[in-house]
Amino acid sequence: KRAHVVRAGDEVEVEVPEARPTEIAAEDIPLAVLYEDPHLLAIDKPPGMVVHPSPGHGSGTLVNALLHHVRDLSGIGGELRPGIVHRLDRDTSGVLLIAKTDLAHASLSRQMKKRSMRKEYLALVAGIPRVRKGEISRPVGRDPRDRKKMKAFPRTGETPAGAREATTLYEIEREWPALGLTLLRCRLVTGRTHQIRVHLAAAGLPVVGDPVYGRPRLERARDPSLKKALTDFPRQALHAERIGFRHPASHEPIEIIAPIPEDLSRLLSLINGRKL
């Protein structure tokens, strides 16, 4: 029992689980390379791909693919995350940076910590913002009612332990008022887990297809085929479109852009009324 106090002379039995191998298998999984040099690699991560192995995802991850395609990777992230500088959610698509050397890993991590790395996302949301450009600044932490989810807490009142300051900037890229839909360009000032999804949901602008933070009702989309496409979209309509940073070795500015993936492109085409 948790309240039991162990005393001198007590016998304690401990069951030690069998050690699990940490070796990760290299797998010949195709990768879309956006940029590569001796220091770093930029990948266009497809939706549905997990970044690194975790319970329930021992294979088929980006790391499994990297071990097959890349000879050397930074070891700073540990055995399970070689080369991984930052992450994207499984069902978020877009550009992801990979460090080949420890020097590159340290430089990129430092830029993220100093918030000099620019990360921009495209998000298709339900609702029309009241302003064309805005800022959402609310602490983000674990939801006390469901520890598997994150939550944006109001700035007034007591912030739960573990919640951290988080800021997302956004501007309207395209809007369809008659449909109640907006394509937002979001910029991360901080990088908390699920930050954009949580912030937009808290602002009343939930991301289309988001299964965790509320699938929107989409009442204005009355065309049956469009409503079905929006309702059945199998993932959050969120794409990491571009990232800007200083090269770890040359210190020259670099911007890498990932094209909008086919599934989201088809949905936007349908919204625009063009033939698929």
pLDDT tens for each residue of 221-244? 778 888 899 999 999 999 999 999
Taking residues 193-201, what's their average pLDDT? 97
The per-residue pLDDT for 214 is: 76
- Nearest one of 31, 19, 23 to 78, comparing CA atoms: 23
The closest alpha carbon to 136, from 86, 111, 171, 160, belongs to: 171
Kindly report, residue by residue over 46-100, the tens digit of the pLDDT.
999 999 877 677 788 999 999 999 988 998 877 778 899 999 999 999 999 999 9
Around 152, how many Cα atoms within 13 Å sit in the side-chain half-sphere? 20
Mean pLDDT of the chain: 90
Average pLDDT over residues 30-59: 90
The predicted model scores a pTM of 0.86
**Can you list the domains of the chain with their CATH numbers?**
116-236 (3.30.2350.10)
Q: Hey, which bits of 89-230 come out as E strands?
A: 93-99, 118-126, 133-137, 140-143, 146-152, 167-176, 181-188
DSSP 223-241: SHHHHHHHHT--S--EEEE
Rounded mean pLDDT of 136-145? 93
pLDDT reported for residue 175: 96
- The C-alpha atoms of residue 208 and residue 217 are separated, in whole angstroms, by 10
- In this predicted structure, the answer to whether residue 275 has a pLDDT above a threshold of 70 is no
Residue 238: beta bridge partners? 123
Q: What is the pLDDT of residues 97-121, one digit of tens each?
A: 999 999 999 999 999 999 999 999 9
- Catalytic residues, by residue number, are 89
